[in-house]
């Protein structure tokens, strides 16, 4: 199951040439991941407050394929590729009118507030399992 999140490129997202600055793609996919998790029914603030755990990016492998420009309407698509007891792997793409401009494979891990590895709670693992189908 995929999740789509719309983004418009603002002037602040671009460099002097009017092209999206490379690091901003990471911001775009972060926003989309946050909305994807929210869409699953997970309140990350409550998860941190009640369970003492957070999700953190462990690894990003990114390919910049084509430039996005000022005022482009983009779509970030997030697809869960797999999940284990303490991590999940996502594929994320940024596209303009169906043309993929950026793609990333992102590994997220579950951590305690002190940064120690933690298991993803059973209820969230159940939600992730449903998202795989």
Catalytic positions: 15
Nearest Cα to Cα of residue 61 among 11, 104, 15, 109:
104
Q: How many CA atoms lie within 13 A of 13 on its CB side?
A: 19
Question: CA–CA separation, 36 vs 38, rounded Å?
Answer: 5
């Amino acid at each position: 199951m995929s999740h789509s999140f719309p983004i418009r490129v603002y002037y602040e997202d671009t460099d002097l040439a009017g092209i999206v600055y490379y690091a901003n793609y990471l911001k775009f996919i972060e926003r989309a991941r946050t909305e994807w998790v929210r869409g699953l029914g997970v309140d990350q603030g409550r998860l941190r407050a009640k369970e003492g755990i957070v999700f953190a990016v462990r690894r990003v492998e990114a390919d910049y394929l084509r430039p996005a420009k000022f005022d482009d309407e983009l779509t970030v698509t997030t697809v869960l590729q797999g999940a284990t007891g303490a991590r999940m792997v996502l594929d994320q793409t940024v596209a303009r009118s169906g043309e993929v401009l950026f793609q990333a494979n992102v590994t997220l891990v579950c951590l305690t507030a002190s940064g120690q590895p933690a298991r993803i709670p059973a209820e969230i693992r159940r939600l992730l399992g449903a998202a795989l189908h």
